Amino acid sequence: MTLITLAADAHDAGLSFWDELWAITFDPAHIVSELIWQLVFDGLFVALLYGVVFKRWLLPRLRREIHKDLDAEHGIEHHDDHIHIRGVNDHDD
């Protein structure tokens, strides 16, 4: 609310656009508010959505599906301790 009051006071005082801009930009309440919103946005949304949802959930699922398709295309069968490649006779078992 203080920021709105400061902006209204600056406007009522007849300050020019650039004077109002500098008054709002260097207002300590505005700076702290911007820092809080930056922490909330970066910490909550970006870290949570990218770090948890994308990297931990979506990306591994996509990688497994793509890997499964490539294995089927190239005739690779995975077993516990080794793989089989169909159609190739000179591979390590």
- The verdict on pTM exceeding 0.75 is no
Could you please report the per-residue DSSP string of 26-53?
Answer: T-HHHHHHHHHHHHIIIIIIIIIIIIII
47 — pLDDT class (breaks 50, 70, 90): confident
The domain tally of the chain equals: 1
pLDDT, residue 44, reads 83
* Interval 47-71 mean pLDDT: 89
Residue 69 belongs to domain spanning: 28-85
| 12: in domain | no
**Side-chain half-sphere of 38: how many Cα atoms within 13 Å?**
6
Q: Is residue 32 part of a domain?
A: yes
Residue of 93 and 78 predicted with greater confidence: 78
Give yes or no for residue 78 having a pLDDT over 90.
no
Residue 75 domain-assigned (yes or no):
yes
For residue 14, is it left (φ>0), alpha (ψ between -120 and 50) or beta?
Answer: left
